[in-house]
Amino acid sequence: MIDGIFNVLKPPGMTSHDVIAFLRRALNTKKVGHGGTLDPDAAGVLPVFTGTATRLLEFAVEGKKQYLVEVTLGKQTDTGDDSGNVVKEMPVPAFTEETLQKVLQGFLGKQKQLPPMYSAIKINGQKLYQLARKGVEVERELRDIEVYKLELLHFTESTLTLAVDCSKGTYIRVLGEDIATALGTCGTMSFLLRTQVGSYTLNASHTLQEIAADPTACADQPVTAVAHLPKLVLTDNQAARITNGVRTTVAGTEEGQYALLASDGEFLGIGTCKEERVKADKVFVRKSLEK
Protein backbone atom coordinates (compact mmCIF):
# COMPACT_ATOMS: atom_id res chain seq x y z
CA MET A 1 0.00 0.00 0.00
CA ILE A 2 1.28 3.46 -0.88
CA ASP A 3 1.18 6.05 1.91
CA GLY A 4 1.08 9.15 -0.22
CA ILE A 5 -0.86 11.80 -2.06
CA PHE A 6 -1.87 11.73 -5.71
CA ASN A 7 -2.40 15.06 -7.46
CA VAL A 8 -5.14 13.83 -9.79
CA LEU A 9 -6.14 15.64 -12.97
CA LYS A 10 -9.87 14.89 -12.70
CA PRO A 11 -11.55 14.70 -16.09
CA PRO A 12 -15.02 16.18 -16.70
CA GLY A 13 -17.84 13.66 -16.44
CA MET A 14 -16.54 11.89 -13.33
CA THR A 15 -17.64 12.57 -9.77
CA SER A 16 -15.01 12.85 -7.06
CA HIS A 17 -16.37 9.54 -5.72
CA ASP A 18 -15.80 7.96 -9.15
CA VAL A 19 -12.14 8.99 -8.91
CA ILE A 20 -11.85 7.41 -5.45
CA ALA A 21 -13.46 4.17 -6.71
CA PHE A 22 -11.05 4.04 -9.67
CA LEU A 23 -7.99 4.49 -7.46
CA ARG A 24 -9.18 1.94 -4.91
CA ARG A 25 -9.22 -0.63 -7.70
CA ALA A 26 -5.99 0.56 -9.33
CA LEU A 27 -4.04 0.69 -6.06
CA ASN A 28 -5.80 -2.30 -4.48
CA THR A 29 -6.57 -0.45 -1.25
CA LYS A 30 -9.66 0.79 0.53
CA LYS A 31 -7.92 3.52 2.52
CA VAL A 32 -8.43 6.40 0.06
CA GLY A 33 -9.90 9.89 0.49
CA HIS A 34 -9.97 13.13 -1.48
CA GLY A 35 -9.19 16.69 -0.44
CA GLY A 36 -12.23 18.67 -1.55
CA THR A 37 -15.12 17.70 -3.83
CA LEU A 38 -14.98 18.83 -7.44
CA ASP A 39 -18.21 19.09 -9.47
CA PRO A 40 -18.82 16.21 -11.93
CA ASP A 41 -18.67 18.49 -14.99
CA ALA A 42 -15.58 20.31 -13.72
CA ALA A 43 -11.99 19.29 -14.38
CA GLY A 44 -8.71 19.91 -12.65
CA VAL A 45 -6.79 19.30 -9.45
CA LEU A 46 -8.19 16.75 -6.99
CA PRO A 47 -5.71 15.68 -4.30
CA VAL A 48 -6.29 12.05 -3.31
CA PHE A 49 -4.74 10.66 -0.12
CA THR A 50 -3.94 6.98 0.42
CA GLY A 51 -2.83 4.87 3.36
CA THR A 52 -1.61 6.72 6.45
CA ALA A 53 -1.56 9.98 4.46
CA THR A 54 -5.36 10.08 4.84
CA ARG A 55 -4.68 11.40 8.36
CA LEU A 56 -3.63 14.67 6.67
CA LEU A 57 -6.85 15.18 4.71
CA GLU A 58 -7.94 18.04 6.96
CA PHE A 59 -4.94 20.08 5.82
CA ALA A 60 -5.80 19.69 2.13
CA VAL A 61 -9.35 20.86 2.77
CA GLU A 62 -7.99 23.97 4.51
CA GLY A 63 -5.78 24.94 1.56
CA LYS A 64 -6.39 27.89 -0.76
CA LYS A 65 -8.00 27.01 -4.08
CA GLN A 66 -7.63 28.52 -7.56
CA TYR A 67 -10.03 28.22 -10.49
CA LEU A 68 -10.64 29.29 -14.06
CA VAL A 69 -14.37 29.77 -14.62
CA GLU A 70 -16.65 30.85 -17.43
CA VAL A 71 -20.05 32.34 -16.55
CA THR A 72 -22.75 32.52 -19.22
CA LEU A 73 -25.14 35.42 -18.65
CA GLY A 74 -28.85 35.54 -19.34
CA LYS A 75 -29.92 32.15 -18.04
CA GLN A 76 -29.84 30.32 -14.71
CA THR A 77 -30.18 26.60 -14.05
CA ASP A 78 -31.32 24.60 -11.04
CA THR A 79 -27.84 23.09 -10.59
CA GLY A 80 -25.87 26.32 -11.09
CA ASP A 81 -24.05 24.90 -14.12
CA ASP A 82 -25.04 24.11 -17.67
CA SER A 83 -25.86 20.47 -16.88
CA GLY A 84 -29.08 21.54 -15.18
CA ASN A 85 -32.51 22.69 -16.29
CA VAL A 86 -32.99 26.36 -17.10
CA VAL A 87 -35.17 27.94 -14.40
CA LYS A 88 -34.73 31.61 -15.25
CA GLU A 89 -33.94 33.72 -18.30
CA MET A 90 -33.28 37.46 -18.33
CA PRO A 91 -31.99 40.01 -20.84
CA VAL A 92 -28.32 40.93 -20.45
CA PRO A 93 -27.77 44.67 -20.12
CA ALA A 94 -24.88 46.25 -21.99
CA PHE A 95 -21.88 46.85 -19.74
CA THR A 96 -18.39 48.24 -20.09
CA GLU A 97 -15.18 46.74 -18.77
CA GLU A 98 -15.07 49.56 -16.20
CA THR A 99 -18.53 48.63 -14.92
CA LEU A 100 -17.61 44.96 -14.82
CA GLN A 101 -14.37 45.59 -12.93
CA LYS A 102 -16.25 47.65 -10.35
CA VAL A 103 -18.76 44.82 -9.82
CA LEU A 104 -15.95 42.28 -9.43
CA GLN A 105 -14.21 44.45 -6.84
CA GLY A 106 -17.33 44.13 -4.69
CA PHE A 107 -16.82 40.36 -4.42
CA LEU A 108 -13.27 40.51 -3.05
CA GLY A 109 -12.53 39.81 0.59
CA LYS A 110 -14.39 38.10 3.42
CA GLN A 111 -18.10 37.54 2.88
CA LYS A 112 -21.07 35.25 3.49
CA GLN A 113 -22.26 32.76 0.88
CA LEU A 114 -25.36 30.56 0.77
CA PRO A 115 -24.45 26.99 -0.28
CA PRO A 116 -26.44 25.69 -3.26
CA MET A 117 -28.96 22.87 -2.96
CA TYR A 118 -26.91 20.91 -5.48
CA SER A 119 -23.96 20.32 -3.15
CA ALA A 120 -22.50 17.53 -1.03
CA ILE A 121 -23.25 19.27 2.27
CA LYS A 122 -25.18 17.04 4.66
CA ILE A 123 -28.22 18.19 6.63
CA ASN A 124 -29.78 15.65 9.01
CA GLY A 125 -27.69 12.92 7.42
CA GLN A 126 -28.78 13.61 3.84
CA LYS A 127 -26.71 15.27 1.14
CA LEU A 128 -28.33 18.39 -0.25
CA TYR A 129 -28.09 17.27 -3.86
CA GLN A 130 -30.08 14.12 -2.97
CA LEU A 131 -32.86 16.29 -1.60
CA ALA A 132 -32.64 18.65 -4.58
CA ARG A 133 -33.16 15.76 -7.00
CA LYS A 134 -36.41 14.99 -5.15
CA GLY A 135 -37.52 18.60 -5.55
CA VAL A 136 -37.01 19.34 -1.86
CA GLU A 137 -35.40 22.61 -0.79
CA VAL A 138 -34.27 23.10 2.80
CA GLU A 139 -32.99 26.06 4.75
CA ARG A 140 -29.21 26.44 4.65
CA GLU A 141 -26.92 28.52 6.82
CA LEU A 142 -24.70 31.21 5.34
CA ARG A 143 -21.03 30.25 5.34
CA ASP A 144 -17.94 32.39 5.81
CA ILE A 145 -15.73 32.48 2.71
CA GLU A 146 -13.00 34.72 1.35
CA VAL A 147 -12.15 35.65 -2.24
CA TYR A 148 -8.49 36.64 -2.48
CA LYS A 149 -8.35 37.37 -6.21
CA LEU A 150 -10.98 37.84 -8.91
CA GLU A 151 -9.33 38.61 -12.24
CA LEU A 152 -11.22 39.29 -15.46
CA LEU A 153 -9.49 37.34 -18.25
CA HIS A 154 -12.01 37.83 -21.05
CA PHE A 155 -15.60 38.91 -21.62
CA THR A 156 -18.18 39.11 -24.37
CA GLU A 157 -21.76 40.43 -24.43
CA SER A 158 -22.91 37.21 -22.73
CA THR A 159 -19.90 35.53 -21.08
CA LEU A 160 -17.26 36.25 -18.45
CA THR A 161 -14.02 34.31 -18.00
CA LEU A 162 -12.47 34.76 -14.57
CA ALA A 163 -9.48 33.57 -12.53
CA VAL A 164 -10.48 33.07 -8.90
CA ASP A 165 -8.37 32.53 -5.76
CA CYS A 166 -10.55 31.68 -2.78
CA SER A 167 -10.83 29.98 0.59
CA LYS A 168 -12.23 26.56 1.36
CA GLY A 169 -16.01 26.27 1.20
CA THR A 170 -16.40 28.73 -1.69
CA TYR A 171 -18.91 27.63 -4.32
CA ILE A 172 -17.82 29.04 -7.67
CA ARG A 173 -21.27 28.34 -9.15
CA VAL A 174 -22.86 30.58 -6.53
CA LEU A 175 -20.19 33.24 -7.00
CA GLY A 176 -20.97 33.30 -10.73
CA GLU A 177 -24.70 33.60 -10.07
CA ASP A 178 -24.14 36.44 -7.61
CA ILE A 179 -21.88 38.33 -10.04
CA ALA A 180 -24.54 38.00 -12.74
CA THR A 181 -27.18 39.34 -10.34
CA ALA A 182 -24.96 42.32 -9.52
CA LEU A 183 -24.78 43.03 -13.28
CA GLY A 184 -28.58 43.15 -13.45
CA THR A 185 -29.16 39.75 -15.02
CA CYS A 186 -28.82 36.05 -14.15
CA GLY A 187 -26.09 33.58 -14.99
CA THR A 188 -24.80 30.05 -14.78
CA MET A 189 -21.38 28.42 -14.74
CA SER A 190 -20.56 26.99 -18.16
CA PHE A 191 -16.94 25.88 -17.53
CA LEU A 192 -14.81 25.20 -14.45
CA LEU A 193 -11.17 24.18 -14.16
CA ARG A 194 -9.54 23.91 -10.73
CA THR A 195 -5.89 24.85 -11.14
CA GLN A 196 -4.64 24.58 -7.54
CA VAL A 197 -5.51 23.14 -4.13
CA GLY A 198 -3.00 24.11 -1.44
CA SER A 199 0.43 23.10 -2.75
CA TYR A 200 -0.99 20.90 -5.54
CA THR A 201 -1.03 22.56 -8.95
CA LEU A 202 -2.43 21.71 -12.37
CA ASN A 203 1.04 21.61 -13.96
CA ALA A 204 2.14 18.84 -11.60
CA SER A 205 -1.06 16.76 -11.80
CA HIS A 206 -1.41 13.25 -13.24
CA THR A 207 -4.18 11.55 -15.17
CA LEU A 208 -5.82 8.45 -13.71
CA GLN A 209 -4.23 6.39 -16.47
CA GLU A 210 -0.74 7.66 -15.56
CA ILE A 211 -1.31 6.84 -11.90
CA ALA A 212 -2.60 3.34 -12.67
CA ALA A 213 0.43 2.66 -14.90
CA ASP A 214 3.06 3.77 -12.34
CA PRO A 215 1.57 4.75 -8.97
CA THR A 216 4.93 4.97 -7.18
CA ALA A 217 6.26 7.56 -9.64
CA CYS A 218 3.06 9.64 -9.34
CA ALA A 219 2.77 9.67 -5.54
CA ASP A 220 3.77 12.77 -3.58
CA GLN A 221 5.17 12.48 -0.07
CA PRO A 222 2.73 13.12 2.83
CA VAL A 223 4.72 16.19 3.90
CA THR A 224 3.49 18.03 0.78
CA ALA A 225 0.04 18.26 2.40
CA VAL A 226 1.44 20.55 5.09
CA ALA A 227 3.69 22.67 2.89
CA HIS A 228 1.94 25.75 4.32
CA LEU A 229 3.12 24.97 7.86
CA PRO A 230 6.48 26.20 9.14
CA LYS A 231 9.04 23.43 9.55
CA LEU A 232 10.65 22.58 12.86
CA VAL A 233 13.87 20.51 12.65
CA LEU A 234 14.44 18.45 15.80
CA THR A 235 17.56 16.92 17.27
CA ASP A 236 17.59 13.12 17.55
CA ASN A 237 16.75 13.30 21.25
CA GLN A 238 13.93 15.82 20.74
CA ALA A 239 12.53 13.75 17.88
CA ALA A 240 12.51 10.58 20.00
CA ARG A 241 10.83 12.26 22.97
CA ILE A 242 8.19 14.15 20.97
CA THR A 243 7.21 11.23 18.72
CA ASN A 244 6.76 9.08 21.83
CA GLY A 245 4.32 11.50 23.40
CA VAL A 246 6.65 13.49 25.66
CA ARG A 247 6.10 17.25 25.65
CA THR A 248 9.58 18.62 25.07
CA THR A 249 11.26 22.00 25.31
CA VAL A 250 12.58 23.38 22.02
CA ALA A 251 14.08 26.69 23.06
CA GLY A 252 13.33 29.73 20.92
CA THR A 253 10.38 28.16 19.09
CA GLU A 254 7.40 30.47 18.58
CA GLU A 255 3.90 29.30 19.45
CA GLY A 256 1.96 27.62 16.66
CA GLN A 257 1.65 24.44 14.65
CA TYR A 258 4.63 22.92 12.81
CA ALA A 259 5.62 20.17 10.41
CA LEU A 260 8.13 18.20 12.48
CA LEU A 261 11.30 17.02 10.74
CA ALA A 262 14.19 14.85 11.86
CA SER A 263 17.74 16.17 11.52
CA ASP A 264 18.05 14.34 8.19
CA GLY A 265 14.84 15.95 6.87
CA GLU A 266 12.54 12.96 7.43
CA PHE A 267 8.91 13.98 8.02
CA LEU A 268 7.89 12.86 11.50
CA GLY A 269 4.46 14.41 11.94
CA ILE A 270 2.60 17.51 13.11
CA GLY A 271 3.21 19.25 16.41
CA THR A 272 2.11 22.29 18.35
CA CYS A 273 4.38 24.57 20.36
CA LYS A 274 3.20 26.46 23.43
CA GLU A 275 5.55 28.30 25.77
CA GLU A 276 8.55 26.78 23.91
CA ARG A 277 7.31 23.23 24.61
CA VAL A 278 6.36 21.02 21.67
CA LYS A 279 3.73 18.30 21.74
CA ALA A 280 2.97 15.95 18.84
CA ASP A 281 -0.52 16.17 17.31
CA LYS A 282 -0.03 13.48 14.66
CA VAL A 283 2.94 11.08 14.50
CA PHE A 284 3.91 9.33 11.25
CA VAL A 285 7.39 8.09 12.23
CA ARG A 286 8.20 7.14 15.81
CA LYS A 287 11.85 7.45 16.81
CA SER A 288 13.43 5.25 19.48
CA LEU A 289 14.10 6.75 22.88
CA GLU A 290 17.68 6.58 24.15
CA LYS A 291 18.28 3.85 26.68
The CATH number assigned to the domain holding 118 equals 3.30.2350.10
Same domain, 73 and 117: yes
| CA–CA gap between residue 132 and residue 266 (Å, rounded) | 47
Q: Is residue 289 part of a domain?
A: no
Same domain, 133 and 210: no
Residue 112 forms beta bridges with which residues?
Answer: 144
Helices 97-105 and 172-182, packing angle to 10 deg: 130
The amino acid present at 119, given as its one-letter code, is S
Asked whether residue 288 is domain-assigned, the answer is no
- The verdict on 113 and 185 lying in the same domain is yes
Q: Is 15 helix (H, G, I), strand (E, B) or coil?
A: coil
Residue 27 lies in a domain: yes
Residue 179: the pLDDT is 97
Q: Same structural domain for residues 79 and 191?
A: yes
Residue 77 within any structural domain of the chain:
yes
Mean pLDDT by 10 residues, the chain (291 residues): 93 94 94 89 95 90 89 94 92 95 97 80 69 69 93 97 95 95 97 95 97 96 93 96 95 96 96 96 88 51
Annotated catalytic residue: which of 3, 18, 39, 264? 39
Percent helix, strand, coil in the chain (nearest 5)?
25, 35, 35
Write out pLDDT tens, residues 126-165.
776 666 676 667 677 889 999 999 999 999 999 999 999 9
Contact indicator for 218, 200 with CB cutoff of 8 Å: no
Q: Percent of the chain beyond pLDDT 90?
A: 78
Q: Which of 6, 75, 10, 61 minimizes the C-alpha distance to 39?
A: 10
244 and 274 share a domain? Answer: yes
Considering the domain architecture, whether residues 154 and 80 belong to the same structural domain is answered as yes
Q: Could you tell me if residue 183 is inside a domain?
A: yes
Number of domains in the chain: 3
| 173 and 235 share one domain | no
Residue 236 lies in a domain: yes
Whole-number pLDDT of residue 58: 86
Please indicate, yes or no, if residue 186 is contained in any of the structural domains.
Answer: yes
Which pLDDT value is given to residue 288? 87
Q: Is 39 a catalytic residue?
A: yes
pLDDT for residue 182: 97
User: Which amino acid belongs to residue 39?
Assistant: D
Are 205 and 197 in contact by the 8 Å Cβ rule? The answer is no
Q: Report whether 160 contacts 192 (CB < 8 A).
A: no
CB atoms within 10 A of CB 82: 15
Are residue 58 and residue 126 in the same domain, yes or no? Answer: no
- The CATH code of the domain that includes 248 is 2.30.130.10
> Based on the domain organization, do 72 and 54 belong to the same domain?
no
Do 79 and 10 lie in a common domain? no
* Cα 283 to Cα 75: distance, rounded to the nearest angstrom: 51
pTM value is 0.89
**Helix (H), strand (E) at residue 209:** helix 208-213
Question: Based on the domain organization, do 78 and 183 belong to the same domain?
Answer: yes
Do 7 and 25 touch, CB atoms closer than 8 A?
no
Q: Do 157 and 259 reside in the same domain of the chain?
A: no
Predicted pLDDT at 157: 94
Question: Measured between alpha carbons, how far is 285 from 3 in angstroms, rounded to an integer?
Answer: 12
Q: Is residue 37 one of the residues assigned to a domain? A: yes
Say how many residues make up the chain.
291
Range of the domain at 212: 4-63+199-225
- Phi/psi of residue 265, nearest 5 degrees: 95, 0
Q: What is the per-residue pLDDT for 39?
A: 87
What spatial distance separates the first Cα and last Cα of the chain, rounded to whole Å? 33
